[in-house]
Structure 1
Amino acid sequence: MNTLHDYNSAITRRQFFRKNGTGLGVAALSSLLGSGQAFSSGPSPAALEGMLPHIAPKAKRAIYISLIGAPSQLDLFDYKPDLQKRFKEDLKDWLAKEGQRLTGMTSGQAAFPLAPTIFKFAQHRKSGAWISELLPWTARMADDLCIIKSMHTEAINHEPANQLVYTGNMQSGKASLGSWLSYGLGSMNEDLPTFVVLHANHSSPYSNVQAISARLWGAGYLPGKHAGVALRSKGDPVLYLQDAPGISRDLRRKMLDGLNAMNQRSYEAVGDPEIQTRIQQYEMAFRMQASVPELADMSSEPEHIYELYGKDSKVRGTFASSALMARRLLERGTRFVQIFHRGWDQHGDLPRDLRSQCMDVDQGCYGLIQDLKQRGMLDDTLVIWGGEFGRTVYCQGGLSETNYGRDHHPRCFSLWMAGGGIKGGQVYGETDEMSYNITQNPVHIRDLHATILNQLGLSHEKLSFKFQGLDQRLTGVEPAKVVKDILA
């Protein structure tokens, strides 16, 4: 039978060089960095990236408001008034000429009736942006926003589309956007996670709610410490926040020190970097037992802040409450917050369900942007709002003058960005008369990723991680560009 000693003695060539790499080389590097940057097991790549940004950063932190299910650009931002006179026009022959990819949900339809929006649009603020009546609070801050109407993607179904938006690839196992930011920028507060995920409840009981999984905020091939930490909307924000009865903090500290010592011996013997991750996560969990209760206690927030975000901000788990929590996290040094809000997949009953979804998020988004602005944080905080693709101009299923549904449409969709060096008060990109194809300034998901990284001081071409013999990147090997036209 092999003993632990036998296992530890069976060091491989790769482990030998890895151990030496964390020995003399790291000791020398630590001496160059100074005691303030020294780490017990050597500085992490994230720490080094944080010390040497590729680009002068415009933003220190970011919030991504992720609307899972894909909101309809035709009913929110992409105004097409000429469609009203073409109500119910059959697009079947036209779609065949366009080579439209169809999902299994509409490929068998006998007809594809054109469905103009039933909602009113108006131009707002100095930018003159056309915004739907469904988003009155968003319309108030039109001059703070850059609305991109020319987003596009290759994915036509939710799971691969969400993986592409949030990990840069339709295949599983890739590192998420937030984990790349954690890896590249490091932490601003050792007592809270660098990357936090919030799940906001949706209000419509009828919406088609897409399942999502931790792969959308996972670390993939990056060290596990860079994965997003999901805070719960009910009960304690994280499990086991309180020590067990009879366990004092001093005793807990001694137990953790002993466990860390054993893990450190295993790391020195085996060289597996995930053992270091385990040590770091135990330490983070210990510190979060003190920091998270203070974070979650919103009793210090004044009444005018609740009024800014809306009455739902006092109800834990709502979108408005999540938006307020996101601001509190950023104030305390969290680098990246991702708010997931599901229920935007309106294949039927779109007027009813989209109205409900918009009411959920509209004032909360306004409150967040205005709150960041009044605290002087918007200039160095990047906020992104959007889904994984768009919706079709034709109706899925039955169509009436007051009710319709829309299928998935990857060729064009809308999102908005604010703060963090983004030029507000502009509408970027254009689509054709049916919000079907992009006619000006296309922006791919990879371009969005490159731009987000750029604003936070990272080059999408330089930020990489060696895995399976390849220099892995968020934007992969396909062409990607920073959308410079939208930068302030």
Structure 2
Amino acid sequence: MNINNIPRRYFLRDCGIGLGKMAAAGLLTQSLARPAQAAPEAPLGARTPHFQPSAKAVIHLFMAGAPSQLELFTPKPELTRLEGKPLPASIIGNQRYAFIRPDAAVMGGRFAFAKHGESGAEISDAMPHLAQVADDLCIVRSVTTDQFNHAPAQIFFNTGFSQPGRPCLGSWAIYGLGAETQNLPSFVVMSTGSGLSGGSALWSSGFLPTLYTGTRFRSSGPPILNVENPAGVTDSLQQETYDLVNRLNARRLEATGDSEIATRIASFEMASQLQSSAPELTDLATETAETLALYGCDPAKPSYARSCLLARRMIERGVRFVNIFHEGWDAHSNVEGNTKNNCKATDQATAALVTDLKRRGLLDETLVIWGGEFGRTPMVETNPALGRAMGRDHHPQAFTMWMAGGGIKPGMTWGATDDFGFHITENPVHVHDLQATILHCLGFDHERLTYKHAGREFRLTDVHGHVVKELLA
């Protein structure tokens, strides 16, 4: 028979049974052809790191906008002596700036410095509260980054890459460690401002399953949107809905092995727990008047102080990673006023957090990190003759951060810069080195904590970074 002359009805009548058998065979042997890939019973259950960690949790206080190290942690008398004169051309070289000319005039620090504690840490009088815990800090004056604009620099510090799409530090930590609590998210994000240059990429899980994305807590009202039951929805009706949806999701997960379905199941279970745990967490009525005064916290008002106190409460309840983003440090003009205002908002609560963790026995196992995305130039950006107070431009070559607790050596200042605060002269610490060191404190070899994506193994530090062992206790 000429196949070109076979009628469509004949084909369907005689071959349909065969097609049906093929379909049936495919359905019946599907489970044999592909083993079930159901998620583990606890997708975020606690896991074993590469080696014994010194830190069980991290609180990252990210000062978005980049604080000026020259106003806070790095006194440079030479800048004061040369104020109003240009930096030597040999110092500047081919350096590019975001907003100012390379021949801009030098500006000295706007605050007085003093040595504090037995360690003799040099901290300016803009941070009187932090100065009281100087012996608990490890101050790193020689941090350097690859980026000099806010968005890519913020993303780079938090994800190891300058463009969105990579997992953030918190996501890598949870991917490696798992969760210690099933009642709260293992990775929580709080912000004290209206927006961040790097956006949600700063707490994104990137190509990791969305199970590892940070959970944003709001500063006022219900901490999480939709955490309360809608009007008319009873607890029993909600539980029946959860049960049905979870059964359907479990069937689909068994059939496909899609990790995003495992994330969906875990998110529903977490949502159910959060309806009781989130209100209890954010109710500060159980805190003593002495503790509230220590932080400078008004429980009824959103603030950086309230976020710091909540961070301590989260750590007590088993949250692994807490990000607090405080925006507003971008002092292109009036660096003195900017520094005063931001220190007024953050200094007391930051010091209180270190003190409170320590007195509760939590600092040894909690790594606290403080710093921004880069530093500020030793040259002035704005001219007071124009009616604007003097500010500083972006400076990626050298800036200052500090860490405390969690296996970090206390009462130490590491690294140094030249007389102008321009170039690092001792012990440079790249952002990738900091990331490697943080993962080390959590019990991970940063070269071995990887995830296969797009055909290759990725890691937080890409192909760079080394642990700064001198910072470890």
CA separation in 2, counterparts of 1:10 and 1:283? 36
Q: Tell me if the contact between 1:151 and 1:442 (Cα under 8 Å) persists in the aligned partners.
A: yes
Runs of 4+ in 1 over 3 A off after TM superposition: 8-12, 15-19, 43-47, 92-96, 209-212, 399-403
For 1:90, the aligned partner's letter is P
Residue 10 to residue 471, structure 1, CA distance change in 2 (3 Å): farther
Deviations 1:283-339 (A, max 9, x none): 1111101111111111010000011111x3434320111000000111111000000
Q: Tell me if 1:65 matches 2:61.
A: yes
Paired residues in the alignment total 448
Tell me the CA shift for residue 246 of structure 1: 2.4
Q: Which residue of 1 aligns with 2:338?
A: 353
2:466 match: secondary structure:
coil
Partner of 1:121: 113
- Relative to structure 1, the CA distance from residue 285 to residue 89 in structure 2 (aligned partners, 3 Å threshold; closer, same or farther) is same
Cα distance in 1 for partners of 2:136, 2:468 equals 18
AA partner of residue 59 (structure 1):
A
Q: CA deviation at 1:73?
A: 0.5
In 2, the alpha carbon distance for the partners of 1:406 and 1:18 equals 64
Q: Which consecutive residues of structure 2, in runs of 5 or more, have no partner in the other structure?
A: 1-22
Partner of 1:379: 364
Q: Does structure 1 retain, via aligned residues, the 8 Å contact 2:369–2:403? A: yes
Q: What is the alpha-carbon distance in structure 2 between the residues aligned to residue 89 and residue 245 of structure 1?
A: 67
For residues 476 and 112 of structure 1, do their structure 2 counterparts lie closer, same or farther at Cα, with a shift above 3 Å needed?
Answer: same
Letter in 2 for 1:417: M
User: Given the alignment, which residue of 89, 92, 107 partners 1:93?
Assistant: 89
Amino acid aligned to 1:69: G
Whole-Å Cα distance in 2 between the matches of residues 335 and 239 of structure 1?
Answer: 21
1:33-75 residue CA offsets vs partner (Å, 9 max, x unmatched): xxxxxxxx3367864xx43321211111010000000000011
- Give matches, 1:165-314, under 5 Å: 165-201=157-193, 210-310=196-296, 312-314=297-299
What residue number does 2:35 align with? 20
Indicate the SS of the match to 2:35. Answer: helix
- Tell me: CA distance 1:116–1:259, structure 2 relative to 1, closer, same or farther (3 Å): same
Secondary structure in structure 1 of the residue aligned to 2:247 = helix
SS in structure 1 of the partner of residue 205 of structure 2: coil
CA contact (8 A) 2:114 2:125 kept: yes
**Which of residues 400, 424, 427 is equivalent to 1:438?**
424
Where does 1:68-83 land on structure 2 (aligned, <5 Å)?
A: 68-83=64-79
Change in 2 beyond 3 A, CA 1:476/1:11 = farther
Q: Deviations over 1:90-117 (max 9, x none)?
A: 2373455x221222x224x7x4100011
Q: Within 5 Å, which residues of 2 pair with 1:393-412?
A: 393-399=378-384, 403-412=389-398
Q: Distance in 2 between matches of 1:188 and 1:16?
A: 34
Q: Which residue of 2 aligns with 1:321?
A: 306
Measured after TM superposition, the shift of residue 82 of structure 1 is: 2.2
C-alpha distance in 2 between matches for 1:134 and 1:16: 66
Partner of 1:132: 124
Q: RMSD across aligned C-alpha pairs, in angstroms?
A: 2.3
Q: Secondary structure at the match of 1:451?
A: helix
Instruction: Check the 8 A contact 1:380/1:421 in 2, yes or no.
Output: yes
Give the letter for the 2:301 counterpart.
R
Q: 1:313, 1:319 within 8 Å by CA — same for their partners in 2?
A: no
Cα distance in 2 between the residues matched to 1:153 and 1:330: 29
- Contact kept, 8 Å, 2:36 with 2:257, in 1: the verdict is no
CA spacing shift, 1:159–1:212, aligned 2, 3 Å? closer
- List gaps (5 residues or longer) in structure 1: 1-7, 24-40, 203-208
Asked whether the equivalents of residues 18 and 271 of structure 1 are also in contact (C-alpha less than 8 Å), the reply is: no
Cα 1:16–1:136 shift into 2, 3 Å: farther
Cα pair distance change 1:200/1:10, threshold 3 Å:
farther
TM-score normalised over the length of structure 2: 0.90
- Find the counterpart in structure 2 of residue 482 from structure 1: 467
- Provide closer, same or farther for how the CA distance between residues 475 and 10 of structure 1 changes in structure 2, counting only shifts above 3 A: farther
What percentage of aligned pairs have identical amino acids? 43
CA separation of 1:390 and 1:315: change in aligned 2, threshold 3 A: farther
Q: Which has the larger radius of gyration?
A: 2
1:391-442 per-position Cα deviation (integer Å, ceiling 9, x unaligned): 0000112147994110000000000000001111110000000110001111
- How far apart, CA to CA, are the structure 1 residues paired with 2:173 and 2:73? 29
